[in-house]
Structures are given as structure tokens and as C-alpha cells.
Amino acid sequence: MEEKKIKEGYKQLAKIVGEQYVSMDKEDIVPYCRDEVSQAYRTYMADLVVAPGTVEEIQEILRLCNKIKMPVYPYAFGVNISSTALPRVGGLMLLVRRLDKILEINEETHTATIEPGVTWSKLFFEARKKNLEPLGLGGGPHSGSLVGNFCLGGGNTGGIDINEEVACQVVLPNGEVMWTGSAGMKGHEKLNPWCRVGYGMNLTGIFHGALGTYGVVTKVIRRLYPLRNIEERIQIGFDTFEDCLNGIKDLVDLGISKQVYGVDRYQAAMIGADSEIIHDPVEYEKYENSFPEFLIVDKISCYNEKQQTVYKELIEETVSKHGGKLVSFTGKTQEALMELWNGSSSVAIRYIRHNPHMMTFAMLPPSMLPGLREQTRKIMEDLDYELTTFSNKRIEYPRVWISPWERNESYLYEQEIEFVPEDPESLKKFLKFQDRYYMEAAKYGSAQINAGFLKRLEPLMWPGYMKIVRGIKQVLDPNNIMAPKQMLKDI
């Protein structure tokens, strides 16, 4: 943006939030122009950063941005792994972190009303005081926000049903405030905001996955689940990918699990290993071999030991049909795995400590995953894409994370593709892989939860679908100030 406009913007923003919460200094802005995968893609630079402390300040900021036509990008913690919080055309980074209050934990409706700066960890911690918990990200860093995740369209990996948001409050691009769900009727945000589909269409859904392009989400009412006396994670080993998938499918059908997900041996070893062992290839190989080929984690929640015993028997009987065996580990490994299953941020980082990696995703019914896995292997073979573990072993398939995201209808299939950011050849190969993988996965039938992919996939979409996506944007944001080019190539 031209300097005159930046200076004018700064002056006006300082009037709204106070000078200490706005900056046009590069060193203050750079940290908010990054996300977890910035090493792989080109970076962008904003012109200003602002940290409002109230919904009213956000309203005023958006009115100002409309007046002076300044692009604005909402940013929570930048933990996303999809390049979707970046200032693609410059402008203003709008940090939502100062709005970090849990406004209510409602014990009757089992919900939390939270602001967008509330992290997963904070909600876990506070909800547990009332014997409730949100369904955590499968392996995600809990230092990110639930709202940031919601705007990406992700969350609750392995949580059986992804509809965790009941209603939300949004500041629309013109500065107006609105609520969705049953809170869509004025006054009901206090009387009864707990009905997810209040008046016909599900308007919460349009902000789910919108990447800040339709407005700034300022409150979310989110489901919580009772914490019972016994919360146990049962680990089950399998010999083959297909057996593991069938095991997950039957566990979901059994209907007694809070969360289920699976990893392969190499992913499990990466999570469980401590720092000493990763420098010793021989020891590391022994360590890798101590895991079953595939591992499922099934979280159960029981009132008492009687229920726990019955549940465990049922689970054992179910998985044994596919050769699954209950397994446990010892010492630090068990601790690390349990920490991750419990939602620890530090352990999540372990599985990105090899080379930086990009998670590639697919959303498919379980029976289609082996085909996609083979297709991925074929692309890697064509590109001579080498993936190795700490034992220096070349692996044929990328490390995986398998989660039933919508019961058995759709599974999230995550594959970790590593690259060396400081090596231009490695980066080039990686980007080639990405381009080919996403197109082939789409042609194979995979959905993508993240609206960031619409940029690539628009030519494959139904025209009517894109007409609605673009139409909403046009109606809500005619000046295109909200996160330009984040979701689509042109707007």
C-alpha cells in the first residue's frame, strides 16, 4: 500500500485501539505474517498490525478499512498448516488474541462460549474444572485457537462428528454484528443461543471454512463433553493398513468411543521417541520395530469399572476380527503417546521435528483410502521422492494419520511429506508433489476440508457452488477488504 495510506491508517487505528496496540514497524509485523508452513511457500508482508481488545473496536476497524479500502487479515496464532492466514495483498493484520476470555461454561447445555483468542489448552484446562472437555484436535498443537481451526474448517480429528460449533457471533465486513443458529433472533444470544439450526439454513456453516473472508468471528459457542470417572485410551496394534481401517470402521460402528484414530509404525515412533534415540540410527531402528505396523487409539469414557470392563471386552472382540491386539508400551514412550492423545502441544511438535513437513490431506470413505495410498506411492516413485526415518530407512509410503471425521462417511487421511526448506531442489520437488497430489486426489474423489484449496480446485467445481461462494462474498464484502485472495485467486 502507498505510504500515505499506511500513515493515515495508522493514525485512525491508533484512535480506535490506542497507540500501544497498533504498529507499522516491520519488526512488529513480521511475526504475524507467518504460519506453520511458511518455509514451503512464498511469504507475504503486511503494512500494519493491530490488536483490538473488544468487539466494538473490531467493528470500528472494519468500518475504517472499508472507508479507506484497506485489506484486513484476521490472525489468531498462525498455527494453521495450510497457508491461510497470510497477507496476500498486504494491508492490515488483525490479531484476535486479546479477545481471550471464556465467557461461559454452561453445565446444563454442555457448551462453552469463547472468544477467538482462547486456545485449545485454555479451554481444556477450564472446562475440566467443571468435569467437561472439548473434543481435542487429534494431534494438533493446542496452542492454536478453536476459532482459527473453525475458520479453516478443521478440528476434532477422530471425533466421530465434526459439528462442534453451535452458533457464532461475527462482525461482518461492514462492521455490523450478527449471530447465527438460534441466536440469529435478536436477544436470543442471551435467552437461548444453544440450538444449532435455528431458522432454516445453517448460517454458522458459511463461516466454517471461510478463512476470514466473510467477516471476523468474535464469539463461538462450542460443544463440550462430560468427563467421566474413567477416561481411557486403548491402544490396538494391526499388521496391515486394510486391517487397521476395518478396525477403525467397526469401532465407529460399535458406537462407544469418544475419539478413534490410527497411525502407522513410523508416525508412532516419531511421536514416542525422545531426543537421544533419534541420533542413533541402529537404536532407532530397534525402536521403530517395537511398534506394531499400525496402531489405533480408541478413547473411551466410562462411569465405572463395570462399564470399562464391558467396553474393553467389546472393543477387543471387535478388533480381533481384523487381527487387532490390545497393546501397551512402557516408560517414556507410553508417557509421550499418552501426552499426545491427551492433547499436549509439545508432543505434537515432535512429529514435525524431522525435516519440516507438509501434511497432505484427503477426505474419503475408508474403502477408498488404500487406492489413494497407492496413488501417493506412485507419485513419489515417479518423482523419485525420498522419505527416510531416523533409522535412515527409506519408507515407501509417507507417515500417516487416519481419522474418521464424520462417523464412517468420511475419513481424514493425513500423509506427512518432508522437505528441506534450505535446499531449492528439495523444495521444488516438494511443490511439484503438492500440485500433482492435490489434483490426482481430487480426481480420485477426495474432498478437501480447507477452503484454501478452492484456489486450485475452482475449475473442477460446479458453477452453481462457486456462484454461491462468490455471491456471499460479494453481498457481504463488496469492497473486498476481508482477506483478499486467501480463498480464491482473484477475490
Ligand X SMILES: Cc1cc2nc3c(=O)[nH]c(=O)nc-3n(C[C@H](O)[C@H](O)[C@H](O)COP(=O)(O)OP(=O)(O)OC[C@H]3O[C@@H](n4cnc5c(N)ncnc54)[C@H](O)[C@@H]3O)c2cc1C
In the complex with ligand X, the residue whose CB is nearer, 13 or 93, is: 93
The nearer residue to ligand X, 151 or 368, going by C-beta atoms, is 151
Q: 119 vs 318, which CB is nearer to ligand X?
A: 119
Give yes or no for residue 175 binding ligand X (CB under 6 A): no
Residues 6+ apart with CB under 8 A from 286: none
Residues 181-220 that bind ligand X (CB under 6 A): 211-212, 216-217
Min separation Cβ 351 and ligand X, Å: 6
Site string for ligand X, 44-83 (x = CB under 6 A): -----------------------------xxxxxxxxx--
Closest CA relative to residue 21, chosen from 104, 117, 94: 94
- Residue 338 or 383 having the CB closest to ligand X: 338
Q: How far is the CB of 106 from ligand X (least distance, A)?
A: 21
Question: For the window 217-246, what string marks contact with ligand X as x by the rule CB under 6 A?
Answer: x-----------------------------
Binding-site member from 36, 60, 243, 264 for ligand X (CB under 6 A): 36
- With 0-12 CB in 10 A as exposed, 13-18 as middle and 19+ as buried, what is 442? middle
Min separation Cβ 74 and ligand X, Å: 4
User: In the window 100-159, what residues touch ligand X (CB under 6 A)?
Assistant: 116, 137-141, 144-145, 147-149, 151-152, 154-155, 157
Residues 350-369 that bind ligand X (CB under 6 A): 352
In whole angstroms, how close is the CB of 189 to ligand X at the nearest point? Answer: 17
Query: What binding mask, one character per residue, do residues 448-487 give for ligand X by CB under 6 A, x or -?
Result: -----------------------------------x----
- Nearer CB in complex with ligand X: 311/438: 438
Nearest approach in angstroms of CB 206 to ligand X is: 12
Measured from the Cβ of residue 478, the count of other Cβ atoms closer than 10 Å reads 11
Beta carbon nearer to ligand X, 149 or 448: 149
**By CB under 6 A, how many residues form the interface with ligand X?**
37
Smallest distance, ligand X to C-beta of residue 81, A = 5
CB of 82 to ligand X, least distance (A): 8
**Interface with ligand X (CB under 6 A), residue from 348, 362, 400, 469:** 348
Residue number of the CB closest to ligand X reads 148
Nearest to 6 by CA among 60, 52, 69, 59: 69
Q: Mind spelling out the 3-state secondary structure of the chain? A: CCHHHHHHHHHHHHHHHCHHHEECCHHHHHHHHCCCCCCCCCCCCCCEEECCCCHHHHHHHHHHHHHHCCCEEEECCCCCCCCCCCCCCCCEEEECCCCCCEEEEECCCCEEEECCCCEHHHHHHHHHCCCEECCCCCCCCCCCEHHHHHHHCCCCCCCCCCCCEEEEEEECCCCCEEECHHHHCCCHHHHCCCCCCCCCCCCHHHHCCCCCCCCEEEEEEEECEECCCEEEEEEEEECCHHHHHHHHHHHHHHCCCCEEEEEEHHHHHHHHCCCCHHHCHHHHHHHHHCCCCEEEEEEEEECCHHHHHHHHHHHHHHHHCCCCEEECCCHHHHHHHHHHHCCCHHHHHHCCCCCCEEEEEEEECHHHHHHHHHHHHHHHHHCCCCCECCCCCECCCCEEEEEEEECCCEEEEEEEEECCCCCHHHHHHHHHHHHHHHHHHHHHCCECCCHHHHHHHHHHCCHHHHHHHHHHHHHHCCCCCECCCCCCCCC
Q: How far is the CB of 340 from ligand X (least distance, A)?
A: 10
**Residue 27 burial class via C-beta count within 10 angstroms: exposed 0-12, middle 13-18, buried 19 and up:** exposed
Of 139 and 193, CB closest to ligand X: 139
The least distance separating ligand X from the CB of residue 61, rounded to whole angstroms, comes to 13
Q: Which is nearer to ligand X, 137 or 441 (CB)?
A: 137
Closer Cβ to ligand X, 13 or 137, answer by number: 137
What residues numbered 248-287 form the site for ligand X, per CB under 6 A?
none
Between 46 and 151, name the residue whose CB sits nearer to ligand X. 151
Closest CB to ligand X among 38 and 408? 38
Nearest to ligand X of 51, 352 (CB atom): 352
Query: In angstroms, what is the minimal distance from the CB of 361 to ligand X?
Result: 10
Of the candidates 426, 427, 457, 422, the residue with the CA atom closest to the CA atom of residue 439: 457
Binding site for ligand X (CB under 6 A): 35-36, 73-81, 84-85, 96, 116, 137-141, 144-145, 147-149, 151-152, 154-155, 157, 211-212, 216-217, 348, 352, 483
